[in-house]
Amino acid sequence: MNTLIEKDIYELIGDNHQMTSADTPLRSDAFEKSDTDKMQTIEKHFRVIMEEMGLDMTDDSLQGTPHRVAKMFIQEIFSGLNPANKPKISVFDNSYNYDKMLVEANISFNSTCEHHFLPIVGKAHIGYVSSGKVIGLSKLNRIVDYYSRRPQVQERLIMQIYNELKTVLETDNVIVVMEATHLCVSSRGIKDESSYTSTIQYGGIFNEKENRNDFFNMINQPK
């Protein structure tokens, strides 16, 4: 009987894009260090990585790369790891009694595959029917952006967005669709540049096929 060694298991999990946790895997002490200290540590280690690759770190173009990467990791593409960066989401009473579906389509997002640290680029489509609360349209974009800015798998990302919307809107009548290209598929491994990944999460009235079809018709309307 063949026994998979640890590195083989790592490869299988990465190539199959498996999610091992519904929550972002974080240590309990993840935010004890300041962002400045984290950037200094990342800068030091990324310099070592570049040197191991044989790059000349005295070159003017490369000297500042470790610093730029560290700043990008902490302040930009992985800023959604820190709860302190979570956007403040205000909701309002549905005083005008709008009782039909509200849809925000084609929300652009950029995330990062947690298996290979390569980009995930796509669009999100969100719909909900108010149970008494409404949310500013731009806040939907901010929620998508916040959960995207961390190492992710698409299945976890859509669940986190969906659960956040259910919580803030105080309703199960939420549907989220995400379509994305994964560069860990297109630029390495199988190198398939034409495929994309679609995920869907819904509840409440969207458990009924008729309501889901209404949502799909709205997001697929010619612009």
Which is the catalytic residue, given 104, 125, 184, 201? 184
Whether the Cβ atoms of residue 134 and residue 94 lie closer than 8 Å to each other: yes
Which is the catalytic residue, given 116, 160, 164, 201? 116
Residue 45 catalytic? no
Which is the catalytic residue, given 115, 152, 160, 164? 115
The single-letter code of the amino acid at 191 is: K
Residue 125 catalytic? no
Q: Tell which residue, 203, 209, 208, has the closest CA to residue 175.
A: 203
DSSP string for 103-148:
EEEEEEEEEEETTT--EEEEEEEEEE--SSEEE-HHHHHHHHHHHH
Residue 113 catalytic? yes
- Using the structure block, give the residue that is written with the tokens 């173009």: 61
Which is the catalytic residue, given 104, 125, 164, 182? 182
Residue 114 catalytic? yes
Residue 154 catalytic? yes
Which is the catalytic residue, given 43, 104, 114, 164? 114
Residue 67 catalytic? no
Cβ contacts of 96-103, under 8 Å, gap ≥ 24? 98/130, 98/134, 99/129, 99/130, 100/129, 101/127, 101/128, 101/129, 101/211, 101/214, 101/215, 101/218, 102/127, 102/128, 102/129, 102/130, 102/134, 103/127, 103/215, 103/218, 103/219
Which is the catalytic residue, given 154, 160, 164, 201? 154
Which is the catalytic residue, given 113, 125, 152, 160? 113
Residues labelled catalytic? 113-116, 154, 182, 184
